[in-house]
């Protein structure tokens, strides 16, 4: 596959989950990877104990793995339970309480991409009010991310698996990106282009890449159907990744797929070992 100029990272919240969190960075390194990303690891704790943050930082550093992407708190994933789309009160306060914690952790790790999931609609509440709260939370997160030179990522999910999420298309995600940038004037909100979710939505991936590569801050991949490794479904990742490059995208491509009925270490046959170590090929 023609991936010699592509920087791949492994999402440790969907791969290597057969291992405890603190063992996953070393397992990724043993599989040949030098860069990783994470969903917020503490699903019940937007503000975990400092000792837990320190332990994760040490595990990443000891393994020699670079953290290149981190989600803000959104509750239990997949879902998400909440995210930015929360009413004033406890849930919105959880998101906002997490923002400075996640930003500080990202700063100490040199991570410059923070993903703010929009969340699910709340039944019986005016959607206009929900979107106003979400925009306020996202602008707060964007300003915090900007304080460390980081990008705020906005991701489209897929309607079959996340029917209550209102961000289930690339154009809708771009609309939110533009609203956040207009509200802050910072320009640091970007699109997280997850090719699996977009394929599940039935979108033309070539058209999405051509239209939005310049507004994309991160890419994630999994094959469709099944959310497995490339080669287990119908998507042509050689063509898609090359199209991204031609469109000017030179950022990270996160491996966010399920390993299937095998240990995660065996889920990378499609990617030659020399291409797993970002910056070393």
Nearest to 28 by CA among 142, 19, 99: 19
Question: Cα–chain-centroid distance for residue 24?
Answer: 17
What pLDDT score was predicted for residue 1? 52
The full set of domains in the chain, from first to last, is 7-275 (3.20.20.150)
**What's the pLDDT tens digit per position in 28-39?**
999 999 999 999
C-alpha to C-alpha distance for 251 and 233, rounded to whole angstroms: 24
Catalytic residue among 37, 91, 155, 203: 155
C-alpha to C-alpha distance for 37 and 18, rounded to whole angstroms: 17
Can you tell me which residue has the tokens 């999994």?
222
Whether the per-residue pLDDT at 2 is higher than 70: the answer is: no
Backbone angles phi, psi at 67, to 5 degrees: -85, 115
C-alpha to C-alpha distance for 83 and 99, rounded to whole angstroms: 11
- Residue 85 binned pLDDT confidence (cut-offs 50, 70, 90): confident
Q: What average pLDDT score do residues 169-189 get?
A: 98
**What's the pLDDT tens digit per position in 218-230?**
999 999 999 999 9
Catalytic residue among 37, 91, 203, 256: 256
C-alpha to C-alpha distance for 168 and 190, rounded to whole angstroms: 16
256 flagged as catalytic: yes
207 flagged as catalytic: no
Q: What average pLDDT score do residues 215-243 get?
A: 98
Backbone angles phi, psi at 85, to 5 degrees: -80, 80
- Residue 53 binned pLDDT confidence (cut-offs 50, 70, 90): very high
Tokens representing 142 are 């964007």
Backbone angles phi, psi at 8, to 5 degrees: -100, 145
- Residue 117 binned pLDDT confidence (cut-offs 50, 70, 90): very high
Query: Is the separation of the CB atoms in 180 and 135 below 8 Å?
Result: yes
Whether the per-residue pLDDT at 280 is higher than 50: the answer is: no
What pLDDT score was predicted for residue 92? 86
Q: What is the value of pTM for the model shown? A: 0.96
**Which residues neighbour 23 within 8 Å (Cβ) at sequence distance 6 or greater?**
16, 59
Whether the per-residue pLDDT at 125 is higher than 70: the answer is: yes
What pLDDT score was predicted for residue 122? 87
Q: What average pLDDT score do residues 57-78 get?
A: 94
Give how far Cα 179 sits from Cα of 73, 132, 147, Å: 21, 11, 19
């Amino acid at each position: 596959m023609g991936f010699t100029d592509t920087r791949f990272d492994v999402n440790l919240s969907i791969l290597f989950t057969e291992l405890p969190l603190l063992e996953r960075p070393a397992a990724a390194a043993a599989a040949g990877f030098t860069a990783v990303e994470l969903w917020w690891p503490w699903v019940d704790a937007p503000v975990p104990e400092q000792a837990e943050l320190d332990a994760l930082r040490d595990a990443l550093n000891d393994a020699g793995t670079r953290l290149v992407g981190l989600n803000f708190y959104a509750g239990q994933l997949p879902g998400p339970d909440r995210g930015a789309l929360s009413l004033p009160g406890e849930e919105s306060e959880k998101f906002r309480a997490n923002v400075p914690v996640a930003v500080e952790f990202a700063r100490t790790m040199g991570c410059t991409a923070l993903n703010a999931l929009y969340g699910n609609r709340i039944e019986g509440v005016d959607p206009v009010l929900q979107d106003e709260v979400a925009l306020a939370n996202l602008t707060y997160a964007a300003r915090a991310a900007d304080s460390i030179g980081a990008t705020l990522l906005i991701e489209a999910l897929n309607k079959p698996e996340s029917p209550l999420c209102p961000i289930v298309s690339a154009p809708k995600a771009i609309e939110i990106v533009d609203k956040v940038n207009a509200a802050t004037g910072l320009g640091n909100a970007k699109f997280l282009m997850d090719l699996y979710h977009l394929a599940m939505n039935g979108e033309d991936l070539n058209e999405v890449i051509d239209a939005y590569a310049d507004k994309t801050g991160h890419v994630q991949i999994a094959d469709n159907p099944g959310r497995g490794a490339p080669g287990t479904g119908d998507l042509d990742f050689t063509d898609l990744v090359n199209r991204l490059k031609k469109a000017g995208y030179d950022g990270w491509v996160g491996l966010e797929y399920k390993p299937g009925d095998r240990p995660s270490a065996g889920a990378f046959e499609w990617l030659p070992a020399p291409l797993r170590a970002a910056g070393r090929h």
